[in-house]
Structure 1
Amino acid sequence: MVKRGSRRNAAANRKPKKVKQKPSGVKLWMRRFVVWGGTLALIGVLFLGLAVGFAAQSLPSFSELKATQNAQTIVVRARDGTEIVELGPSYGKWVDGDEIPQVMKDAMISVEDRRFHSHFGVDPIGLVRAVWVAATGNGRVSATSTISQQLARNLFLNSNRTVDRKMREAVLAMALEWKFSKDEILELYLNKVYFGGGAYGIDSASRKFFSHPATELSTGEAAIIAGLVKAPSRYSPTADVQAAVDRAQVVLRLMKEQGRIDPGVSVDPSAVQLKEERGQNSVRYFTDWALPQLDLLLPETFEPIEVWTTIDIGMQRAAETAISSHTPGGAQGALVSVDRDGAILAMIGGTDYVETNYNRATDAVRQPGSSWKLFVYMAALEAGYTPESSVRDVPVTIDGWSPRNSGGNYAGEIDVRTAFAYSKNTVAAQLGYEVGFGTVASMARRFGITTPVSTYPSMVLGTSETRLIDMTRAFAAVSAGGRSVEPYGIVKVTTASGETIYEHQKSRSSQLVPEYVAAGITDLLQSAVATGTGRAAQIGRPVAGKTGTTSSNKDGYFVGFSSGITTGVWMGRDDNKAVGGLQGGRAPAQAFAAYMRFAVKDRPIEKFNTDVQLPEWQLEPDDEFYFGDPEDYYYIDEQGNLIEPGAPSTPRPGQGEGPFPIEGQDEGDVMDRPRSRPAQGGGEGSQAASDDFLDRATGGDQPAPPRPPVRVLRPSPSPPPQPQR
């Protein structure tokens, strides 16, 4: 039994227990940071691994990535096969990894990702280094994307500089490393990366800059190509040769520092032979006009195609020189040249495509001036005039409009050929009035004028605005003997493998005017160049054409043809202001001649067919033609009555007596010149025979409806005719 005192002494002798102290604030937060940070890092790594694994499983296969292409490449070729322009991205030929020159691989790794073979898609060392440089330098983080990251961005992402995009880029880069080998990634990268000028991949870049495939790249060429990735537009050898060479020197230095080439190797990138860049200025007017037609000509396709066009490189250059050399300062010039089948040989839409790509040859709507008289005189020739027909160059007033000749001179009694050659406005006005302004408008429509055409009297002088390509098309139809011509620019389209997916088919041609009309107007056009207002267009061989000048010299025109080539030239200002001294017979005709001398130099000299063979209805008729055989066709009896085949010679209801259908004129008047026929209505008194029959039977049309009188002023004595516009 223990005594109570002993228990007290024992309790007193026991040492008090130490109370466990809680960590201080700093240590506590450090501990929490380590614990929670480690936990979050573990979760993050786990999440990242899952994300990378999931992304790797979702990636296309290597063969699928190899086959993908982001946009269509269009190579445009001239008629001789010469490449004139390449549009859209070009991917060239795929170069397998074992075919890529080792120097190309080394150059790219040296300048873009020196630790490519040691990182897992993201370069932590490079990232830390970039952050340190930013912290101790200007505060900007330099580019740290690895080759894998760049490939991920090119294949799957855009170029937005956002944190979200960079995180996804890193995940995809690690997924690429997970799924593909380093060699496969490098092969994909070198065949996909953009090198500028529309070139994607080393083969496209090699062909664009050096005119040979990537398998033949030298060390200097590889250095130039590798240096382009950082800034394709800045270091492109086609834009700045010196900048490209300086950048290539940087690549070579890095290759030596990293031991990828021998330090003793001396390479001079400036000695590299760059591909000659052909002029692509003026020809872009043509491609802008022709290529949109592919949407109608081809089935939907995204594979690379080659477009073979009608453009002649030599003629295009000659046209560009002719326009630039003769267009007045401050003005614009345009030219369209068409072969006899409608093929566009040359097209200039302005003096400088880089300055303005507005195509004045196909889109600008301007007044053609007196070149419009082509349609007036064709309508007159079709109505019965000939180049030798007599007309009067005197002051006239039509519906209150009084046209003037340039210079105010009047020649009095002249023939049609002289009136056309000297571009007599008063004669054109009288002819337009006689045949009908609507008839002139219909003639213009017949020959391919697509813009609105006025029927006011002044329309005969070219006040209706039109396009140069349409006027050129009309003159080309005259050159073709009056047969329609359809301008075209695309000959065929082939795929990269050579398969033809489109080929131009000759369009159906129709006779727009009788051959005697085409021969007659060619006679007039030839006279205009030989002796009239178009003398500046002479080139030492037969040329037919017409000048045109609008009021206040706002527009100058010349359209003509020789040896099967038809060319139209326009000059003027885009703001429609006057151009001092601009006349169709001067600068436009001179530009025409300068171009055509080159265009026809290899073609045989061709004489024009100006032998006007008049149709029978313009010749003296014989008795049978007048009276006919009742068993064969409708005819007119001696009293002027219309007789049906086999019917008795009695008048039909509604027919009067006397010569039908002309009143107040004798047979000679009827045969001299046909008149336009009024519209026929229905009912008992309507026309009983076809227009064709009446033309054959009477030698002319029915009388025209009454017109307001033409007030012809008394001509005063005047000097011999002077050239007009």
Structure 2
Amino acid sequence: MAHRKDSRIEPSFEASPAARSSAGFSVSEEDRVVPSNRKAAAKRKSSKVKPPRGGRGKSRRGVFGVLARLFYWCFVLAIWGGIATAGIVVYYGAKMPAATTWAIPDRAPNIKIVSVDGQLLGNRGMSGGEAVGLHEMSPYIPEAVIAIEDRRFYSHFGIDPIGLSRAMVTNVLGGHFSQGGSTLTQQLAKNLFLTPDRTLERKVQEVLLALWLEHKHTKDQILEMYLNRVYFGSGAYGVEAASRRYFGKSARDVTLSEAALLAGLLKAPSRLSPARDPKAAEQRSQLVLAAMRDEGKISAKEMTTAMSAPATRSPSYWTGSENYVADTIMEELPDLIGDVRRDIVVDTTVDLTLQKLAEQSIRRLIDQSGKKLNVSQGALVSIDNSGAVRAMVGGYDYST
């Protein structure tokens, strides 16, 4: 019997893709390698993807994670803060009367006393001056007040979030309460309805009332009410009373520099009054002029001219002998017309020219003969043949 050689066939890794496919599997190009090249192929695969060097990837993921958590907690705190604020508003708002009962209180009536030819002898009443329409007063007055007190008055809805945020930052950085962030509407709401107490309850009510005012009235109406009621120091309420008090003229005739002084008084009426501290009043008015220039209300030339105007110096008290006439009329008025519930004008027979001459006569006589006669005061009443009082002087100096 013939002996056969072993005919075993070793499998070849060089088999064609078609052959392998017929065997039930497929192979990629990278798999078609001979055994001797397996290590090299593995080495090439491992070299294609390299891990990041150092901890740069981890540090980036850490920073983004911290920012994401910070944003999340800020969002959560904002939601809870909004809920808490809404709760406070509802709580203090519920303590107020129903909004349907809210109404603008009547302005304190003014009694305007005029001479026989219509010149002003004096104003009496809580306000100390008559109400003046926004279109009647000097245009510099509302422009100055808006520039220094509420430059976004015509664009906000009664509350100025930008101004409020700025005031909060200033107070925090300064470490004390220096700015309130209240709009003119909020100030009017406080003057009309609330006490000056700085409490959370009053602030919430002020905001609610400001929103109501903005809903019920136009911007011009709000500004006019504010300017006719706000306190300007030295017993003067409203721009007309203040103009008469400090400049001896109507608010209709106020100049740019005078309007800046009036607007500057609103921050601290008593402390900045030109009757008390003319220098402080002048410094404040220059800040107002600069604000008006920044807002484009006046030109640089107008600002320079106004700043060069001499400082306003006002007497500490009301002066002029015509005030004796006004006081006498106020004593007799209740018996003639009863309680005064609205603005009225009282016409008199007093001649202001004769009144000034009578005042000069009394002072000259006291100066010339007062020491010799041992007198320091004098009085004069001038009456014509019809019985009308033409002049009345009650003493040497009304302010004393």
Q: Which residue of 1 aligns with 2:362?
A: 319
Kept after mapping to 1: 8 A contact 2:144/2:263: yes
Kept after mapping to 2: 8 A contact 1:320/1:348: no
Once the two structures are superposed, the pairs formed by residues 393-412 of structure 1 within 5 Å of their partners are none
Match for 1:354: what amino acid?
S
Q: Which residue of 2 aligns with 1:257?
A: 294
Q: Which residue of 2 aligns with 1:334?
A: 378
Q: Which residue of 1 aligns with 2:337?
A: 298
Deviations 1:28-57 (A, max 9, x none): xxx999979845732642673794998654
Q: Which has more helix, going by share of residues?
A: 2
- Rounded to whole Å, the distance in 2 between the matches of 1:338 and 1:105 is 43
Structure 1 position 255, deviation (Å): 2.2
Match for 1:211: what amino acid?
K
Structure 1 position 206, deviation (Å): 5.3
Q: Which residue of 2 aligns with 1:585?
A: none
Structure 1 position 117, deviation (Å): 4.2
Q: Secondary structure at the match of 2:113?
A: strand
Percent of residue pairs identical: 35
Match for 1:333: what amino acid?
Q
- Rounded to whole Å, the distance in 1 between the matches of 2:287 and 2:232 is 17
Matched, 1:211 2:249: yes
Matched, 1:186 2:223: yes
Q: Secondary structure at the match of 1:333?
A: coil
Q: Secondary structure at the match of 2:378?
A: strand
Q: Which residue of 2 aligns with 1:85?
A: 122
Deviations 1:369-396 (A, max 9, x none): xxxxxxxxxxxxxxxxxxxxxxxxxxxx
TM-score, normalised to structure 2, is: 0.61
Kept after mapping to 1: 8 A contact 2:233/2:269: yes
Residues 193, 220 of structure 1: alpha-carbon distance in 2 compared, 3 angstrom cutoff: same
Q: Which residue of 2 aligns with 1:642?
A: none
Q: Which residue of 1 aligns with 2:47?
A: none
Q: Which residue of 2 aligns with 1:228?
A: 265
Matched, 1:95 2:139: no
- Rounded to whole Å, the distance in 1 between the matches of 2:392 and 2:254 is 37
Q: Which residue of 2 aligns with 1:115?
A: 152
Structure 1 position 252, deviation (Å): 1.3
Residues 332, 167 of structure 1: alpha-carbon distance in 2 compared, 3 angstrom cutoff: farther
Kept after mapping to 1: 8 A contact 2:148/2:288: yes
Residues 273, 81 of structure 1: alpha-carbon distance in 2 compared, 3 angstrom cutoff: farther
Count of aligned pairs between the two proteins = 316
Q: Which residue of 2 aligns with 1:140?
A: 177
Once the two structures are superposed, the pairs formed by residues 65-84 of structure 1 within 5 Å of their partners are 65=104, 69-79=106-116, 81-84=118-121
Kept after mapping to 1: 8 A contact 2:229/2:238: yes
Residues 138, 349 of structure 1: alpha-carbon distance in 2 compared, 3 angstrom cutoff: farther
Kept after mapping to 1: 8 A contact 2:278/2:312: no
Deviations 1:640-665 (A, max 9, x none): xxxxxxxxxxxxxxxxxxxxxxxxxx
Work out which structure has the larger RCO, using CA pairs closer than 8 Å and 6 or more positions apart in sequence: 2
Match for 1:108: what amino acid?
V
Residues 110, 335 of structure 1: alpha-carbon distance in 2 compared, 3 angstrom cutoff: closer
- Rounded to whole Å, the distance in 1 between the matches of 2:138 and 2:327 is 38
Kept after mapping to 2: 8 A contact 1:319/1:335: yes
Kept after mapping to 2: 8 A contact 1:337/1:346: yes
- Rounded to whole Å, the distance in 2 between the matches of 1:252 and 1:36 is 42
Q: Secondary structure at the match of 2:196?
A: coil
Kept after mapping to 2: 8 A contact 1:210/1:274: no
Structure 1 position 250, deviation (Å): 0.8
CA RMSD of aligned residues (A): 4.4
Kept after mapping to 2: 8 A contact 1:336/1:344: no
- Rounded to whole Å, the distance in 2 between the matches of 1:156 and 1:76 is 29
Kept after mapping to 1: 8 A contact 2:190/2:206: yes
Structure 1 position 106, deviation (Å): 3.4
Structure 1 position 104, deviation (Å): 4.1
Deviations 1:305-349 (A, max 9, x none): 333154741223312332344323985433343536665555554
Residues 124, 273 of structure 1: alpha-carbon distance in 2 compared, 3 angstrom cutoff: closer
Match for 1:319: what amino acid?
I
Once the two structures are superposed, the pairs formed by residues 437-516 of structure 1 within 5 Å of their partners are none
Residues 87, 333 of structure 1: alpha-carbon distance in 2 compared, 3 angstrom cutoff: same
Residues 45, 230 of structure 1: alpha-carbon distance in 2 compared, 3 angstrom cutoff: same
Deviations 1:389-442 (A, max 9, x none): xxxxxxxxxxxxxxxxxxxxxxxxxxxxxxxxxxxxxxxxxxxxxxxxxxxxxx
Match for 1:315: what amino acid?
A
Structure 1 position 172, deviation (Å): 1.1
Q: Which has more strand, going by share of residues?
A: 1
